Chains A and B, each alone.
Chain A
Amino acid sequence: MKNVLGRRGLAVVFGAAACLGLVSTAIAGLAAGPTYNLKKLKGSVTADGSSTVGPYTTAAAELFRRAGATGVQLTVGISGTGGGFQRFCKGEIDLSDASRPMRNSEAAACKTNSIGSWRAFTVANDALTVVVNQQNTWARCLTVAELKKIWEPGSKVDNWKDVRAGFPDVPLKLFGPGTDSGTFDYFTEAINGRARASRSDYQASEDDNVLVQGVSGERGGMAYFGFSYFTENQSRLNAIQIANPKTSQCVAPSKATVFNNSYRPLARPLFIYAKGSSFARTEVQAFLDYIFDNEVAIANRADFISLTPKQLKRARTNFILAVKAAKRT
């Protein structure tokens, strides 16, 4: 028939559009209380930021949901620490995952956009891990000075024999994270003394799995990344012990050494930044409250190192202050 086909096509198309029109609405919660009835919570919480912290927030969101908060729509993005802060300071998100503290320039952006106050919470710990190939039998422990010799800007070290007298003549192949990552910022600050100051003639990738593959396929390979990438790939890589600058003792990265503060200087805290105004919403409060109540479970689930009791206490106090501040306004 003439144009029946054309008309029917349009009808289908518009019908489908109408179905999509069913829109979920967010209803903000009301009064804040010390305990939260998770089952009654509604609304949405948006988080974005570091891909290192992302799995932690995701695990927290999962357990939060399982604990009964099915009415809260929690989303976690991984735009990177810098990307997360950018969105955070535009007021687009409630929580910003960060693997390093906020920079002054970022804080300035937050202020010019007048998003109000914000608070940083330490939520977990990570051990930046320096890894080498499994056939590397010589490098068991390195000092900060040796690492600096390798990684500092302008470094020309390209053979293991130049790292320390007695090391074999094996070409050194370096792999590292991209310059957008918080890991890069933290490592360069801890080892080279200044954030973002690093030699640049190494193979960089935003994808840590690429680094894992690079080092496991290269006898003289070396890389650094978050602890969880090492624990998942222990069978393919060796972790280097780091000589503690104070005690000069060689310390391997582990939950215990981070916890007792001996793995230095590469143990780092991970943060979630929260917008002050978001605390006015019960679902945001309840989510953070849930995190501090279930810190260990969340850290274990996502393969992170949990907070020390001291860190947890500080985070808790910080949280309670934030809730009070939100009530006042």
Chain B
Amino acid sequence: MTTAVPTSLAGGPRRRVWRNRLFQLAMLSCMFVAFGTLALLLADTLITGWPELSRRLLTGLPSTVPGEAGARPAILATLYLGLLVLVFSVPIGVLTAIYLEEYANRERWWNRAIEVNIQNLAAVPAIVYGILGLAFIVRGIGVGRVVLAGGLILTLVVLPTVVVASREAIRAVPDSIRQGAFALGATKWQVVWRQVLPASIPGIATGSILALSRAVGETAPLIMVGAITYVAFNPSLFGPYTALPVQIYNWTKQPDPGFQTLAAAAAIVLLAIVLSMNAVAIFLRNRYRKQW
């Protein structure tokens, strides 16, 4: 403060200023708790796993001896699962979102019921989908414990999230764009397909990729539907598989402490996969960001 400020102004609001600062401090410390825990976890994993982060881990086959073990089948299967989830969840999720946002009549009770259901499904624990998948996909329609079944179940897990994210993105497209397109004589389908959908792609892409990175990290439903732990060959769509999170989980349970470090190293790989997906999401969002 300069001396030009009258004393009456400098002295008065001291208490309020202090409260203001106190609140800022409280917020800052909350952020540190959240961020610090994450940073600690990351640092611990990185320090533990770094020495084992080798080419063998990426290209080798699993083994009972930690010094010889790699995770290639698990890494590949995780990438396949991610692709499958993308192939299934994005078209279904986006079309559902379009229906709910652009076509569904909110006055009808069944449309409201669908909406509430989707919101709730997004909060259902993944293991429940695992049980469902085991009963209906693996055994029910007899897909078996194969990559395709895993992909379908993970699709179920993330579908509600994709729908919710896509709806948000579609809702964010201003009505003036729809009106402008309608005014030129476009049909509803043309308005949705050629204006609303392209305009909401950044939001849809971001939401879908974030959902995808969740799917890639899921363990519980995959254990339910038999992502087997020893697989010494590259996975195929209709073949048995193991996924990276399952491999990590299995390694942490091994008696030999060498596997603990291996698990940490594999966790770094998984982290790298998830983070690069998120990076793509951020890139897409920035690349196609629209102003209206």
Contact = CB atoms under 8 A, between A and B. Distances in A.
Contacts of A55: 64, 254
Contacts of A23: 236-239
Contacts of A75: 228, 230-231, 240
Interface in A189-222: 207-209
Interface stretch (A46-54, A110-118, A252-260, A265-273): A46-54
A302 B64 contact: yes
A77 B147 CA distance: 15
A282 interface: no
**Residue of B90, B145, B228, B254 with highest tally of chain A CB at under 10 A:** B228
Interface stretch (A131-139, A163-171, A226-234, A283-291): A226-234
A10 B257 CA distance: 46
Nearest to A212: B255
A209 B232 contact: no
B229 interface: yes
Contacts of B228: 46, 48, 75-77
Contacts of A46: 228, 240
Interface string A261-301: 00000000000000000000000000000000000000001
Interface string B220-253: 0000001011111100111110000000001011
B250 A78 contact: yes
A160 to B, nearest CB: 26
A22 interface: yes
B64 A24 contact: no
Interface string A16-28: 1100111110000
Contacts of A208: 253, 255
B95 interface: no
A310 B130 CA distance: 44
B80 interface: yes
A228 B253 CA distance: 12
B198 interface: yes
B289 interface: no
Q: What's the interface size class on A, roughly?
A: 35 or more
B63 interface: yes
Interface stretch (A57-65, A141-149, A238-246): A57-65
B191 interface: no
Contact of A20 (B84, B230, B233, B250): B84
A74 B229 CA distance: 11
Contacts of B63: 58, 62
Contacts of A301: 64-65
A2 B198 contact: yes
A232 B257 CA distance: 7
A73 interface: yes
B237 A20 contact: yes
Given A13-B86, A62-B64, A54 B229 contact: yes
A229 B255 contact: yes
Interface string B54-82: 00000001111100000000000000100
25 contacts: A3-B194, A16-B87, A17-B83, A20-B84, A24-B236, A44-B240, A46-B228, A57-B230, A58-B64, A58-B230, A61-B232, A62-B232, A65-B232, A73-B232, A73-B240, A75-B228, A75-B230, A76-B228, A208-B253, A209-B255, A228-B255, A233-B257, A301-B64, A302-B64, A303-B256
Given A65-B232, A73-B232, 8 more contacts: A14-B87, A16-B86, A21-B237, A73-B239, A75-B231, A208-B255, A209-B253, A229-B255
Interface of B: 61-65, 80, 83-84, 86-87, 90-91, 145, 147, 193-194, 197-198, 201, 226, 228-233, 236-240, 250, 252-257
